[in-house]
Amino acid sequence: MRIGLLAAGAAMALSTAAWGQPMTGFAPASAEKQRALEQRFDAEISPRAISERLKLMSAEPNHVGAPHNIKNAEYTREQFKAWGWDARIETFDVLYPTPIEVSVELTGPTRHKATLTEAPIPGDESSKQGPNGLPAYLGYQGDGDVTAELVYVNYGMPADYETLARMGVDVKGKIVIARYGGGWRGLKPKLAQEHGAVGCLIYSDPADDGYGEGDVYPKGSWRPDNAFQRGSVMDMPIYPGDPLTPGVGATKDAKRLTREEARTILKIPALPISYADAKPMLAALDGETVPSSWRGALPITYQTGPGPAVVHLVVKSDWKLETLYDVIATLKGKDRPDEWVVRGNHRDGWVLGAEDPLSGHSVMMEEAKAMGALLKTGWRPSRTIVYASWDGEEVGLLGSTEWAEAHAAELQKKAVLYVNTDSSGRGALDADASYSTRRLLNEVAAEVKDAETGADVRTRKLANVQVRALGPDASDRLKDQAKAAAKGEDFAVDPMGSGSDYTPFVQHLGIASMDIGYSGEDEGGVYHSLYDTFEHYDRFADPGAKYQAMLAKTVGRVVMRTADAEVVPLAFAGPAETIASDVEELKKLEEKTRTRAETVNRLVAQKAFALADEPRKGWKAPPRQDAGKPLDFKALDAAVARLKASAAAYDARSRAASGLPAGKRDQLNAILQGAEQALTDARGLPGRPWFRHLAYAPGLLTGYGAKTVPGVREAIESRRWAEAQDYIGRTAKALDRYADAMDRASALIRS
Amino acid sequence: MRIGLLAAGAAMALSTAAWGQPMTGFAPASAEKQRALEQRFDAEISPRAISERLKLMSAEPNHVGAPHNIKNAEYTREQFKAWGWDARIETFDVLYPTPIEVSVELTGPTRHKATLTEAPIPGDESSKQGPNGLPAYLGYQGDGDVTAELVYVNYGMPADYETLARMGVDVKGKIVIARYGGGWRGLKPKLAQEHGAVGCLIYSDPADDGYGEGDVYPKGSWRPDNAFQRGSVMDMPIYPGDPLTPGVGATKDAKRLTREEARTILKIPALPISYADAKPMLAALDGETVPSSWRGALPITYQTGPGPAVVHLVVKSDWKLETLYDVIATLKGKDRPDEWVVRGNHRDGWVLGAEDPLSGHSVMMEEAKAMGALLKTGWRPSRTIVYASWDGEEVGLLGSTEWAEAHAAELQKKAVLYVNTDSSGRGALDADASYSTRRLLNEVAAEVKDAETGADVRTRKLANVQVRALGPDASDRLKDQAKAAAKGEDFAVDPMGSGSDYTPFVQHLGIASMDIGYSGEDEGGVYHSLYDTFEHYDRFADPGAKYQAMLAKTVGRVVMRTADAEVVPLAFAGPAETIASDVEELKKLEEKTRTRAETVNRLVAQKAFALADEPRKGWKAPPRQDAGKPLDFKALDAAVARLKASAAAYDARSRAASGLPAGKRDQLNAILQGAEQALTDARGLPGRPWFRHLAYAPGLLTGYGAKTVPGVREAIESRRWAEAQDYIGRTAKALDRYADAMDRASALIRS
């Protein structure tokens, strides 16, 4: 239908608006009732209330253990109660290092002592709270007092160390300085440590995060020269949450590892610094001039060192147990109380945390308030709705992980969907999500209006994908998505990695999840700094809370539709196609990786590098690589083919599902509730059993960024060929289990 | 053979060394004699003499009309004579604007007067000559006295103006400031003028040409903050040479246009400035923050304007006729005096011109000296060798163009090959060349040893191509070349555009040409500035003149082999394959251009841009584009197929050619001498009839950079579909004529 329209009426604006359209999981009559409910829900959403709540909650520092963070937990609980929810605080006791001493000094050939504090900014009242917040600090770094020559390692990612090795630059015994970007923060000190460095500095280069992006705060929104990015460097790709209690809730009586036994705590000291402090240190480096892609926007010649710059770095922390305060609020389902829709946003911030996370937290509370109002008019969800205000996300997804681990069995049995938000921005809709939620999200997006353009969010997203795909740097994935968008197909959801509280739900427990928000048009620059204030947010991120209100309407619909649907509103045909193309990508990757390894080995053997490199520089040839043999993809191909057929069959039949007799519907809902868990493997991913999802996971070497078919992909990327073959089999079995679930669901409808 | 070796012995180093190998155009016995001659030639090449001559000739400013440039002409002539050559000075009288007044001032909101002079640098004696050289100046800009708001236009290329239009920024009535790079200098004021700007500044951004690249002079080699890049902005893609005498030599009695009639002189004033002077001007701009690819390395937020920065720009020149001094030296051929091998390098520089051009000029003289020594031992070339020291290259290829135009008929009848050099660097061999010279160049490169690695130059080049192809930004073209290199195939030559004195020979007259040099490992940064001194060159570009000596050996071999070969040493099979792949590229370009236009038009009609763009910014949708209809490539496909067959046939038979009886050999040589002219078209390229080559030409919108199959390619790029179809036919006919020549040559050998 949509294709025909587009082809026929080129002059017509894109549109996907939706009254009278089918609503997955609902019979037509129920769909119209649901839409009426949503209209009433929307009427309760107040941008002003969102904004006032944000201001209130971000008035004082909100890190783990800060009095105001605890006060906010109590406030959140009381608000939920006042709106008619069951609400309580659930606590956990986790290892939480609090900084005692932090210091960085360039001691030679020139001297410069880093400030490591952020001064208040005129016109930003909130920024006066600086002295009460955390100084420059990276959670779960390793403490130490070291003095060594400095080496600049660009983003400090694996490819950067390969380049350094080619240049003959070794970081052993040195302190590295890496710029933010290119991959997750926590990998920088981890890889530095693995390469023998004794300390790690991370700074915000103005090219990536400062005046390069735009005028700096307070003239514009961007990072001023004295601001730094705090953050966690816990080795979360191994497991997130309390380092002492992997896999179990950090309850009072939990069995705990010692600090030394915990694999996720680094061994070397690390600190973040501002670009004002980084500049004299980088300027004091000599050695190789860096490749052009390594250059930032400081007015210096970027060079690698080592030295002559020498740095003295000290970090000392208090490694005590600290209490986390999760607020858990419930609306019990009237029909299916043991099927849960869980929705969360964290509450702790690095300092005041206005944008990150309280902008999203205030949205979440606004949804709860609006549902409370609906309760008073007699509505009650069919399934149970659980809202969670997580503590300790910033330092390692602590509050969500401990709660998910503590309630693992119950969640795997009951949770239908986990919906996450975090910072709330403005622009087009962005969603990292379980593929099976793609249709649901498109249906919702078609019924929420964009605050600026007046178009529905789905239409805007489809336009956005197509226009971005015209850009010179558009990826092949984006170009494919644009082609699909041109045909009016559902916009794609991105695969789930990590970076916020959905991680334990989808990656550890296999619960269908989504992480959504609006983005691309908020002006940033204050991430994890003192300047993430209400004043900054209201001026640059979402003036007037227009997009926060949209997010409340979007998430509210997702939650209420999932809670009220006669049949869990998941769909599988689109997702099966996505998995199929993920597998095709793998094959290309395998071919490319093998061919490249063979080429490198041939060129090494022929001493071609010595001939190609500038002879006076004394560069080293790269090491030989294991080129392996072609992998056998047959099992995966067969599983994908079956999955596509099973998914198409279920989706075709599911329209009849809401008319099923109650008993069969219960069985169907039970199958759908646990379907995503078929994609997990009890053994988990190689070397990190906590991560069990075989369709998408955060990369071991990307940290947050998603890898699709991760067991196979990461093995290929690292040329561990036997492991890749093993995970081809394991992934094929997971896809078979997933298809089994669909087949069982289809059979129920047909019979 | 080579393939087998590589496959068999992976541990063996690459090698293509060559005694006893075939030498194109020579019978085996003659080849060995030629190799012995080349050994004696090599023995005459003295790095020290090259260096001393360079120092002498770059001691004072050498711009057109400067006393020292004229003195150098006389010195060159006398040296050639002393070495046994016939040598004389040939003069032309050309319009040559000399600066009288240059001034740039930021008048608001802050004030800054640009220095426009380069101070001497301690330790660089030559740089004291500054006051005698040219100030900041761009040849053939339009003069004027203008005051207007400033707009930053990135590189000032067509895509940049498209981006500005999307952002709603208009340069009409403004002064633009563009950074160097992204395309030829002269396009920047030309496009600014076409878009209604009243003035143009061009500055060297430190990201592209300054501290971003490395430590600045004198600590390192790179451009210091007060240095600027002079240059020509004559509209050379229309025609180079004297603006008043297009197509004819600027002899005393030539018919001349008026200055107003000359199409290649701009109408608006333009000047180059340093980054020290650009910084306060760019910092004073407001408006849109630029896209990330537009940012340079100054420590500011790059914004477009217009304003509030206001600039006052004044340029006043003396537009008088000036005399050029070309030195023409000849060694008359003993067997074929009417077949010429022409070899040139220019002599004029922007200031002292040590690297550009005297480093290459000194190499050329060293070759002439060595040939002079061979003369004394009884050698005399079989064909005539003509060496040319060109004047006025910098301002618009004046000396070479006027000479080529004055002697057009004779050159088209006699010239077998034109060999060009310019600045001489260090590193791997680089060649822009007529495709038919590829084999010759590979044979020569296999017999010259790289000064640093000891490998032969061909082996080093093949290693270089393969290693560079592993890089993340490797182009598809480079990857294809690497695959060919892995099989031991000849390294490719790059298609010819413009940028030095080969232009009139290949582009206007259709004479097979090459422009060669060593590059990639010299440290630069002083291009067209006062600091292009002997001191800088000897310290950073080619210490000890090692690569200059290699270049003399390389060019000497090319010239002497071409002069002495029994049969003109061109080959066609490889080139025909290259043309075939150039045509395949065209088809992909056509498909992509049409599809993109259709997509843009659909998205414009659907108002998708308004939905995708940040609503508060008020960006404009792009204009609709003519998507045309699919082109008919049949004629070109047929011509390419025939060309491949004819080329393969000739190359197979040519091995027998040196054994032909003298009369037939004369006929064969005559065919080969003029073969490249088959690729020209008397009507020339659209809108610029001076450019006649249909296989490669400088782009109308790239200036120097080559476009292959330019008549078709540029029409597709600009969506002039009827013109593209027309030039498919014209190019097919040219290829047919080229194949005809090969067939006639083959027939001679067979019969």
Residues 6+ apart with CB under 8 A from A597: A625, A626, A627, A628, A719
Residue B733 pLDDT > 70, yes or no? yes
Does CATH number 3.40.630.10 belong to domain B36-94+322-446+494-564?
A: yes
Which chain A residues are Cβ-neighbours of B599 within 8 angstroms?
466, 470, 486
Residue B8 pLDDT > 50, yes or no? no
- The shortest C-alpha distance from A607 to chain B (Å) reads 6
At B119 the pLDDT is 95
Q: Which residue shows structure tokens 């570009």?
A: B541
How large a percentage of chain B has pLDDT more than 70? 97
At B11 the pLDDT is 31
- Cross-chain Cβ contact B470/A213 below 8 Å: no
- Cross-chain Cβ contact B211/A301 below 8 Å: yes
At A4 the pLDDT is 32
For residue A220, give the chain B residue with the closest CA: B301
CA distance B372 to B361: 16
Mean pLDDT of the A428-451 span: 97
- The shortest C-alpha distance from B748 to chain A (Å) reads 43
Cβ–Cβ contact A8 with B under 8 A: no
At B517 the pLDDT is 98
Determine the 3-state secondary structure of A197 from DSSP: coil
Read off the pLDDT band of B750 (50, 70, 90): confident
Read off the pLDDT band of B451 (50, 70, 90): very high
Q: DSSP labels for A386-444?
A: EEEEESSHHHHSHHHHHHHHHTHHHHHHHEEEEEE--S---EEEEEEE-GGGHHHHHHH
Residue A200 parent element (H or E) = strand A199-203
- Cross-chain Cβ contact A214/B614 below 8 Å: no
Residue in A214, A295, A612 closest to B301 by CB: A214
At B751 the pLDDT is 67
Mean pLDDT of the A623-649 span: 97
Q: Which residue shows structure tokens 């006062």?
A: B530
Mean pLDDT of the A145-164 span: 98
**Contact call for residues B720 and B710 (beta carbons, < 8 A):** no
How large a percentage of chain A has pLDDT more than 90? 95
- Cross-chain Cβ contact A616/B464 below 8 Å: no
Residue B164 pLDDT > 60, yes or no? yes
- Cross-chain Cβ contact A486/B599 below 8 Å: yes
- The shortest C-alpha distance from A215 to chain B (Å) reads 6
At B703 the pLDDT is 79
Cβ–Cβ contact B427 with A under 8 A: yes
Residue B629 pLDDT > 90, yes or no? yes
Residue A581 pLDDT > 50, yes or no? yes
CA separation, residue B655 to residues B22, B26, B28, B571 (Å): 9, 9, 10, 11
For residue range A340-374, what is the model confidence (pLDDT) as tens digits? 999 999 999 999 999 999 999 999 999 999 999 99
Q: Exposed/middle/buried for A639, CB within 10 Å: 0-12, 13-18, 19+? A: buried
Mean pLDDT of the A2-24 span: 49
Which chain B residues are Cβ-neighbours of A155 within 8 angstroms?
none
Residue B129 pLDDT > 80, yes or no? yes
On the CB side of B198, how many CA atoms lie within 13 Å of its CA?
Answer: 15
Read off the pLDDT band of A1 (50, 70, 90): very low
- The shortest C-alpha distance from B463 to chain A (Å) reads 5
Residue A253 pLDDT > 90, yes or no? yes
Residue A10 pLDDT > 60, yes or no? no
- The shortest C-alpha distance from A381 to chain B (Å) reads 35
Domain ranges of chain B: 1-35+447-492, 36-94+322-446+494-564, 97-319, 573-750
A 209-228 residues with CB < 8 A to B: 211-216, 220, 222
Which chain A residues are Cβ-neighbours of B206 within 8 angstroms?
299
Residue B16 pLDDT > 80, yes or no? no
Mean pLDDT of the B200-227 span: 97
Residue in A427, A428, A612 closest to B467 by CB: A612
Q: Exposed/middle/buried for B335, CB within 10 Å: 0-12, 13-18, 19+? A: middle
Q: DSSP labels for B611-644?
A: HHS-GGG-PPPPPP---------HHHHHHHHHHH
Q: Exposed/middle/buried for B442, CB within 10 Å: 0-12, 13-18, 19+? A: buried
How large a percentage of chain A has pLDDT more than 70? 97
At A61 the pLDDT is 98
Residue A6 pLDDT > 70, yes or no? no
CATH code, residues A95-321: 3.50.30.30
Cβ–Cβ contact A260 with B under 8 A: no
Cβ–Cβ contact A542 with B under 8 A: no
Average pLDDT of chain A is: 95
At B57 the pLDDT is 98
Tally Cβ neighbours within 10 Å of residue B618: 10
For residue range A702-743, what is the model confidence (pLDDT) as tens digits? 878 999 999 999 999 999 999 999 999 999 999 999 999 999
Cβ–Cβ contact A595 with B under 8 A: no
- The shortest C-alpha distance from A683 to chain B (Å) reads 35
At A702 the pLDDT is 83
- The shortest C-alpha distance from A401 to chain B (Å) reads 36
CATH code, residues B97-319: 3.50.30.30
The whole-model pTM stands at: 0.95
Residue A9 pLDDT > 80, yes or no? no
For residue range B483-508, what is the model confidence (pLDDT) as tens digits? 999 999 999 999 999 999 999 999 99
Mean pLDDT of the A79-87 span: 98
Residue in A301, A605, A606 closest to B214 by CB: A301
- Cross-chain Cβ contact A453/B611 below 8 Å: yes
At A273 the pLDDT is 98
Mean pLDDT of the A382-401 span: 98
For residue A288, give the chain B residue with the closest CA: B214
Read off the pLDDT band of B7 (50, 70, 90): very low
Residue in B455, B603, B611 closest to A455 by CB: B611
**Contact call for residues A366 and A45 (beta carbons, < 8 A):** yes
For residue range A504-535, what is the model confidence (pLDDT) as tens digits? 999 999 999 999 999 999 999 999 999 999 99
Angle at A702 between CA A700 and CA A704, to 5 degrees: 100
CA distance B150 to B106: 9
CATH superfamily of domain region A2-94+323-564: Zn peptidases (3.40.630.10)
Which chain B residues are Cβ-neighbours of A464 within 8 angstroms?
611-612
At B15 the pLDDT is 47
Residue B2 pLDDT > 60, yes or no? no
Q: Which one of 3.60.20.30, 1.20.930.40, 3.90.420.10, 1.25.40.10 gives the CATH number of domain B573-750?
A: 1.20.930.40
Asked if the ipTM is above 0.90, the reply is yes
Residues 6+ apart with CB under 8 A from B521: A614, A615, A616, B425, B426, B427, B428
At B4 the pLDDT is 32
Residues 6+ apart with CB under 8 A from B426: B451, B518, B519, B520, B521, B522, B541, B542, B546, B547
Residue A53 pLDDT > 50, yes or no? yes
Read off the pLDDT band of A19 (50, 70, 90): low
Which chain B residues are Cβ-neighbours of A609 within 8 angstroms?
463, 467
**Pairs of residues, one from chain A and one from chain B, whose beta carbons lie less than 8 Å apart:** 157
Cβ–Cβ contact A6 with B under 8 A: yes
Cα-to-chain-centroid distance, residue B197: 28
**Contact call for residues B425 and B519 (beta carbons, < 8 A):** yes
Determine the 3-state secondary structure of A234 from DSSP: coil
At B583 the pLDDT is 98
CA distance B493 to B481: 10
- The shortest C-alpha distance from B37 to chain A (Å) reads 28
Strands A427-433 and A513-520: antiparallel
For residue range B542-562, what is the model confidence (pLDDT) as tens digits? 999 999 999 999 999 999 999
Give per-residue burial for A543-580: e unless 16+ CB within 10 Å, then b.
eebbbbbbbbbbbbbbbbbbbbbbbbbbbbbbbbbbbb
Read off the pLDDT band of A211 (50, 70, 90): very high
Top residue of A301, A465, A470 to mutate, by most chain B CBs within 10 Å, is: A301
Average pLDDT of chain B is: 95
Mean pLDDT of the A24-50 span: 97
For residue range B668-712, what is the model confidence (pLDDT) as tens digits? 999 999 999 999 999 999 999 999 999 999 999 887 899 999 999
CA distance A733 to A736: 5
First to last CA, chain B: 30
Q: DSSP labels for B305-359?
A: BS-B-EEEEEEEEEEEEEEEEEEEEEE--SSEEEEEEEEEEE---SSS-IIIIII
Residue in A13, A596, A613 closest to B607 by CB: A13
**Helix%, strand%, coil% for chain B, nearest 5:** 45, 20, 40
Residues 6+ apart with CB under 8 A from A609: A603, A619, A620, A621, A622, B463, B467
For residue range B308-336, what is the model confidence (pLDDT) as tens digits? 999 999 999 999 999 999 999 999 999 99
